[in-house]
């Protein structure tokens, strides 16, 4: 499964790169993650294609769709996105699986410090939309961003990606770490 996840993510990335609006890289001591994203229509339908490699735990690849907009009840400084993504994962010392996770993100922009943003992401897939030996999948991310220039953001973040598998007593954690990231906009 590892080869299929990496190949699928690489092919989707190659096809998607010409349509991408941004590319996001993040690094920690044990993991690297890359994600392309872009707008499919002028109605705020966005796609993401991403891959994570962790040296000790395994690989995760994803393809997703989401809609995003500024929340009308806010002063225009709060953005939300909701959608879903297909996730394939392969544990280095364990089983593999896939899931369809739903979720999204909230992103707060600050008027007093307009170059600073806080963002939180969450995706979850219960057993009914988890396949292979997977029972569920969960992904949580938090990050503090700083806009260097119009086309680049640097950030400090934390993420936890985990799945529960059949016949295994504890969850398999694919990544649980702080990281440093860079997002470039084209």
The pLDDT assigned to 75 comes to 64
pLDDT in tens, 47-61: 999 999 999 899 999
The pLDDT assigned to 144 comes to 97
Task: Tell me the HSE value of 14 on the side-chain side, using a 13 A CA sphere.
Answer: 6
Name the most confidently modeled range: 18-22, 131-135, 150-154.
Answer: 150-154
Confidence of residue 106 (pLDDT cuts 50, 70, 90): very high
Indicate the domain borders of the chain.
Answer: 2-185
Q: Which of 85, 74, 33 is nearest to 57 (CA)?
A: 33
Close Cβ partners of 7 (under 8 Å, ≥ 6 residues apart): none
The mean pLDDT of 153-182, rounded to a whole number, is 91
The pLDDT assigned to 48 comes to 92
The pLDDT assigned to 151 comes to 94
**Position with higher pLDDT, 35 vs 40:** 35
CATH number of 2-185: 2.40.160
Is the model's pLDDT at 65 over the cut of 90? yes
Q: How far is CA 100 from the centre of its chain?
A: 13
**pTM tops 0.95, yes or no:** no
* 181 vs 34: CA distance, rounded Å: 10
């Amino acid at each position: 499964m590892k080869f299929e996840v990496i190949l699928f993510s690489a092919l989707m990335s190659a096809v998607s790169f010409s349509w991408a609006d941004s590319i996001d890289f993040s690094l920690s001591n044990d993991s690297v993650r890359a994600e392309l994203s872009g707008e499919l229509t002028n109605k705020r339908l966005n796609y993401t294609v991403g891959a994570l490699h962790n040296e000790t735990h395994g690989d995760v690849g994803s393809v997703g769709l989401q809609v995003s907009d500024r929340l009308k009840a806010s002063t225009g400084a709060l953005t939300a996105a909701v959608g879903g993504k297909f996730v394939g994962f392969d544990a280095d010392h364990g089983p593999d699986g896939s899931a369809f996770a739903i979720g999204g993100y909230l992103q707060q922009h600050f008027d007093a410090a307009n170059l600073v943003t806080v963002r939180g992401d969450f995706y979850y897939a219960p057993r009914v939309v988890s396949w292979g030996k997977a029972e569920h999948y969960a992904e949580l991310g938090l990050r503090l961003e700083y806009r260097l220039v119009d086309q680049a953001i640097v950030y400090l973040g934390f993420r936890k990606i985990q799945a529960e598998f059949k016949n295994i007593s504890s969850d398999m954690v694919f990544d649980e770490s702080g990281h440093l990231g860079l997002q470039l906009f084209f």
